[in-house]
Amino acid sequence: MNFKYFATLLLPGVSGLFTSTCLHADEESFLLSGFLTQGVFYTDNNNVYGESDDTPSFDFHEIGLNTAYRFTPALRGAVQVMSRQAGQVDNGEPQLDYALLDYRFSDSPDASYGVRAGRLKVPFGFYNETRDVAFTRPSIMLPQSLYFDQARNLELSIDGAILYGSVEVPGGWLDLDLLYGSPKTDTNVEYAYLAMDAAGTFEDSEGYMARMIYNVDSGRIRIGTTVAEYRLSYKPGPPGAPVWNEFNEGDLKLNVAMLSAQYNTANWSLTSEYMVHDIDWTELGGIYSVRPKTPLTSYYLQVQYRLNYNWDLLLRYDDLVLDGNDPLGKRNSLLFPKQAHSFYAQDVTLGIGWQPNPDWLFRAEIHNIKGTGWAAEQDNTDPASLKKYWNIFALQATYRF
């Protein structure tokens, strides 16, 4: 088998996707492409992506259209519009996924660097920039402990600028990204970080991020680190909201540090990422006055095996602890109206993928889960009914054009 072929598949990122699209744009001044994804989810307890408990849920689909254009040899542009239905978390309303201009100052074989501006995909870990493109993610569901779908919009895109570069270094090359901008916030972000649809809203937010990935031997070994700081500015709602549903005006502070590592051969890929996510509610007060700061910790270990060019298998263990000072959730369950297992989740995933041709991809996977730390409140409106042990059975079909 040709390792370089698999190395191409295993280096996901918007830069790669963007570059690929723009190469076509060199030959054809305007190119429109896209993808359609439909998923089916069934659970024996709890809900995911719709009402999946004991009945199949078809409330998951992704439709994306994108285009790119090269204005000059150094200046390129790209846009993607996407509709995503994901149970009660996303309603399918079309959104501007990214819309950017990319100016490359240098593009020599040993060093290239440039700047992107506009609505950008966030360079977070290995998979975030192309998490919506099924062909570039290893499974139907990414590890929810790090690539949290409930806070997808916050993680996915940002309005701002990225300085990026790739430089040859001893043993391989180094990819660098430096980002500043205004992250996207919505009601889902309130559910993710406040555990409710709060009376007020997050506005005037800003974020900083830096990512570095060291690639050895054409991507056979990849070692990366990502650090970020977000400040989400909360504006209280009108007077009269219940005490439990209101917070002070102030910043919710998020600090993230992630380590990423991957080893690739022609048939195997071993991937692991570890994240510490410090959450500071101090300025918001309210019910979080009893727990003003929390260290969220998470990691996953993942093995992929490619039987051939068409079939692949996946095994993954994914671990989330919403409060590192209370890993079993016992103290938090006394402070908040939630069960102890709502503060952690351990997920063992087994999956299989089949790509019969370049345009079609089919996947199936089973998740055996202990805990409900990432079960979306929007799909599970009664926290008391959540079960500690549950399984997810998922199917997905994707077509790209």
Digit-coded pLDDT (tens) for 103-161: 999 988 889 999 999 999 999 999 999 888 899 999 999 999 999 998 888 898 999 99
Instruction: Give the span between the Cα atoms of 207 and 377, in whole angstroms.
Output: 25
Average pLDDT, integer, range 222-243: 86
Mean pLDDT of the chain: 89
Instruction: Give the span between the Cα atoms of 23 and 345, in whole angstroms.
Output: 42
Which pairs count as long-range contacts for 56-59, CB under 8 Å and 24+ apart, including other chains?
57/87, 59/85, 59/86, 59/87
pLDDT at 30 over 80: no
What φ, ψ does residue 123 adopt, rounded to 5°? -80, 80
User: What was the pLDDT predicted at 169?
Assistant: 93
Q: Do residues 161 and 117 lie in contact, with contact meaning Cβ atoms separated by under 8 Å?
A: yes
CATH number at residue 388: 2.40.160.10
Q: How confident is the model at residue 25 (pLDDT cuts 50, 70, 90)?
A: very low
> Domain total for the chain?
1
pLDDT at 4 over 70: no
User: What was the pLDDT predicted at 246?
Assistant: 76
| pLDDT: which is higher, 244 or 391 | 391
Instruction: Give the span between the Cα atoms of 47 and 55, in whole angstroms.
Output: 10
User: Which range marks the domain in which residue 376 is found?
Assistant: 3-400
Average pLDDT, integer, range 308-317: 96
User: What was the pLDDT predicted at 243?
Assistant: 57
Q: Do residues 289 and 271 lie in contact, with contact meaning Cβ atoms separated by under 8 Å?
A: no
Instruction: Give the span between the Cα atoms of 140 and 146, in whole angstroms.
Output: 15
User: What was the pLDDT predicted at 242?
Assistant: 62
Q: How many CB atoms lie within 10 A of CB 338?
A: 17
User: What was the pLDDT predicted at 245?
Assistant: 64
Q: Is 254 helix (H, G, I), strand (E, B) or coil?
A: strand
Q: Is 356 exposed, middle or buried (0-12, 13-18, 19+ CB in 10 A)?
A: exposed
Q: How confident is the model at residue 240 (pLDDT cuts 50, 70, 90)?
A: low
pLDDT at 323 over 50: yes
Tokens 């001893």 locate to: 170
Q: How confident is the model at residue 5 (pLDDT cuts 50, 70, 90)?
A: very low
Average pLDDT, integer, range 266-272: 97
C-alpha distances in Å from residue 55, one per residue of 92, 93, 139, 347, 383: 21, 25, 22, 21, 19
